[in-house]
């Protein structure tokens, strides 16, 4: 089958294993080839596929292993598109990567909220798609002003970050000895994906989200400091999941504190005394001073 025929077959629900396998192999190959040439030749078919993917995540998801393999490969392909700086225009990237409407987003988020399976594969894959949008906003700040992106971050702020579940997952991370089992798909979605999305948002639209400032510090400030304090003594035991959680939380709080208005007030709310501030600085020094951290950190960001 050529690419157009494969795309036509994707519209047949459910997608056959053979089609998924062929597409997975195709995109694994294309990741290492000229993206710009492939996109210019197959733009229309790729456009159809990109938006079909959002529809599948929104309402047609399947837990079949072939889905996982294909979606993970395609997420990596999209990440390559985002970071290809010279040969693919921003307009092309935007048309391919940005979902068409907020209903698709709402359906995905509602499924995540309602899921009783903490390792639901939909959560794992949806996290990759939202992570890519965060990378896209970080690389091209103007994307953060698109209505769909604004909606995503308003939803994340109000329904996930300011949710008791987020506090629960933060308290899980306060245990000195963490079992690998606690790093579920839903926990990583809350702690990594949601904070990454809002971090990208704060860096360009910080003043538009001033209304959640007080609530963020009230809800998570103490838990954040507690995590950093406890885990700064266990750096040599960190796995890549804990490292990613810590890195995303530090980045989130840094941008939250320093971007936009009210810096002094936010700073005082988080560090009401000099003693607390000095203790936090010492905790960060212990973390940064652990040299193997650098290799592991860059491995998690690849």
pLDDT, mean of residues 128-145 = 96
Question: Is pLDDT at 227 greater than 50 in this prediction?
Answer: yes
Top pLDDT among 277 and 290 is at 277
Q: Contacts for 68-74 with beta carbons within 8 Å, 24 or more apart?
A: 68/121, 68/124, 68/125, 69/20, 69/24, 70/20, 70/21, 70/23, 70/24, 70/27, 71/125, 71/128, 72/125, 72/128, 73/24, 73/27, 73/28, 73/31, 74/23, 74/27
pLDDT at 2: 84
Per-residue pLDDT, averaged over 84-107, amounts to 94
Across the range 108-121, mean pLDDT stands at 95
Mean pLDDT of 106-116: 96
pLDDT of the residue at 287? 92
Residues above pLDDT 70, as percent of the chain: 93
Q: How far apart are CA 82 and CA 231, in angstroms?
A: 33
Domain boundaries, the chain: 1-97, 102-302
Lowest mean pLDDT among 26-35, 154-163, 216-225, 232-241: 26-35
User: What dihedral do alpha carbons 184, 189, 191, 195 form, nearest 10°?
Assistant: 170
pLDDT digits 0-9 by tens, 61-80: 888 788 899 999 999 999 99
Per-residue model confidence as pLDDT tens digits over 140-182: 999 999 999 999 999 999 999 999 999 999 999 999 889 888 9
Give the residue-averaged pLDDT of 182-198: 96
In SS3 terms, the chain reads as CCHHHHHHHHCCCCCCHHHHHHHHHHHHHHHCCCHHHHHHHHHHHHHHHHHHHHHHHHHCCCCCHHHHHHHHHHHHHHHHHHHCCCCCCHHHHHHHHCCCCHHHHHHHHHHHHHCCCCCCHHHHHHHHHHHHHHHHHHHCHHHHHCHHHHHHHHHHHHHHHCCHHHHHHHHHCCCCCCCHHHCCHHHHHHHHHHHHHHHHHHHHHHHHHHHHHHHHHHHHHHHHHHHHHHHCCCHHHCCHHHHHHHHHHHHHHHHHHHCCCCHHHHHHHHCCCHHHHHHHHHHHHHHHCCCHHHHHHHHHHC
Whether residue 302 is predicted with pLDDT greater than 60 in this model: the reply is no
Instruction: Give the mean pLDDT of the chain.
Output: 89
Q: How far apart are the first and last CA of the chain?
A: 32
Q: What is the mean pLDDT of residues 39-43?
A: 92
User: What are the pLDDT digits (tens) for 197-212?
Assistant: 999 887 776 566 655 6
pLDDT of residue 218: 81
Q: Is the pLDDT of residue 55 over 90?
A: yes
Higher pLDDT, 268 or 60: 268
pLDDT at residue number 36: 86
Confidence check: pLDDT of 83 > 90 = yes
Confidence of residue 296 (pLDDT cuts 50, 70, 90): low
């Amino acid at each position: 089958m050529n690419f157009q025929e494969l795309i036509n077959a994707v519209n047949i629900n459910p997608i056959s294993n053979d089609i998924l396998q062929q597409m997975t192999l195709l995109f694994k190959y294309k990741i290492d080839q000229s993206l710009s040439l492939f996109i210019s030749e197959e733009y229309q078919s790729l456009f159809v596929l990109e938006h079909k993917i959002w529809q599948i995540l929104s309402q047609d998801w399947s837990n079949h292993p072939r889905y996982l393999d294909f979606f993970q490969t395609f997420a990596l392909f999209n990440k390559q598109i985002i970071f290809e700086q010279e040969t693919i225009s921003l307009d092309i990237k935007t048309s391919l990567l940005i979902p068409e409407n907020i209903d698709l987003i709402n359906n995905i988020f509602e499924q995540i909220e309602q899921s009783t399976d903490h390792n639901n594969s939909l959560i794992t894959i949806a996290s990759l798609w939202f992570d890519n949008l965060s990378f896209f906003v970080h690389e091209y700040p103007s994307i953060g002003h698109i209505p769909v992106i604004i909606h995503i971050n308003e939803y994340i702020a109000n329904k996930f970050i300011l949710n008791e579940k987020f506090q629960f997952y933060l308290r899980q991370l306060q245990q000195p000895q963490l079992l690998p089992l606690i790093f579920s798909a839903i926990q990583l979605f809350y702690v990594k994906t949601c904070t990454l999305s809002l971090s990208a948002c704060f860096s360009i639209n910080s003043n538009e989200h001033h209304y959640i400032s007080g609530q963020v510090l009230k809800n998570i400030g103490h838990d954040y400091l507690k995590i950093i304090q406890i885990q700064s003594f266990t750096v040599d035991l960190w796995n890549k999941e804990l490292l990613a959680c810590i890195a995303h939380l530090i980045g989130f709080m840094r941008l939250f504190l320093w971007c936009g208005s009210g810096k002094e007030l936010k700073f005082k709310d988080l560090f009401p005394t000099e003693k607390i501030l000095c203790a936090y600085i010492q905790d960060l020094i212990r973390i940064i001073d652990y040299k193997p951290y650098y290799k592991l950190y860059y491995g998690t960001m690849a």
